[in-house]
Amino acid sequence: MTTRPSATTHLSVARTLDHCTVLGPGSRAVVWVQGCPLRCQGCVAAETLPFEGGTSRSVAELADWLCRLDGIEGVTFSGGEPFSQAGALAELLDTVRERRPDFGAMAYSGFRHEALRRGGPDRLALLARLDLLVDGPYVAARHGSLRWRGSDNQRLIPLTDRYTRAPAEPDTTAGVELSVDADGSLSWAGVPPTPGFREGLEEQLAARGFVLHTEARRER
């Protein structure tokens, strides 16, 4: 069932990225939401954990942004914990797919798929609209150089026929991407292949006089 966008529906967003090739199949937009109830040791995006902060963005505004982007096949939701704002994200996908019916959707979650399936109607609504899910908490002791995942307990789960081949493809890191924002600040996206990546990168950049933009970056 398609949800209708409400003028009052907003998401708390930590960061967005127009094009990314290291957080899911093909070239995708990314939305990092603000707020996560989990506290995974070693999370590289600690700034996205508090529910306070972030930028309030309306579903209508985000849908317009996604629909205007050329050269992407879908969106990846990360964070933060996307399923803490599941209802609004489900509404966002419905709004986008009214204009771009073939728009793909992938999400990360610190909760396992089985737990999400026992969740409330909002979580079930988002699950029903996703094509691909990466589930499970990041476990630093099980860190691996894996495709789109930070630790080997996390699973890549196709939820539709769109990306059924993804789990069979080589399970090696997709790497990270550095980008320069309009204000000249640096940021990065992706799943670091080694533990301690963020600290090491920030130290190397600082030694060269660069400051890394501290908005949402996530290990999982």
Per-residue pLDDT of the chain (220 residues; tens, 9 = 90+): 444 444 569 999 999 999 999 999 999 999 999 999 998 888 878 889 999 989 999 999 999 999 999 999 999 999 999 999 999 999 999 999 999 999 999 999 999 999 999 999 999 999 999 999 999 999 999 999 999 999 999 999 999 999 999 999 999 999 888 887 777 677 888 888 887 777 777 787 778 776 666 543 333 3
Residue 29 lies in a domain: yes
Residue 147 lies in a domain: yes
Residue 121 lies in a domain: yes
CATH, residue 157: 3.20.20
How far, CA to CA in Å, does 80 sit from each of 5, 6, 68, 220?
23, 23, 25, 10
Whether the Cβ atoms of residue 17 and residue 189 lie closer than 8 Å to each other: yes
Distance CA 151, CA 44 (A): 13
Decide: helix, strand or coil at residue 106.
strand
Q: How far is CA 44 from the centre of its chain?
A: 13
DSSP 116-164: HHTS-HHHHHHHHH-SEEEES---GGGEEEETTEEETT-EEEE-SSTTT
Q: What is the total count of domains within the chain? A: 1
Q: What is the domain range of residue 54?
A: 10-217
The reported pLDDT for the residue numbered 197 is 75
Q: How far is CA 88 from the centre of its chain?
A: 15
Specify the long-range contacts of residues 164-171, CB closer than 8 Å, at least 24 apart.
166/25, 166/132, 171/146, 171/147
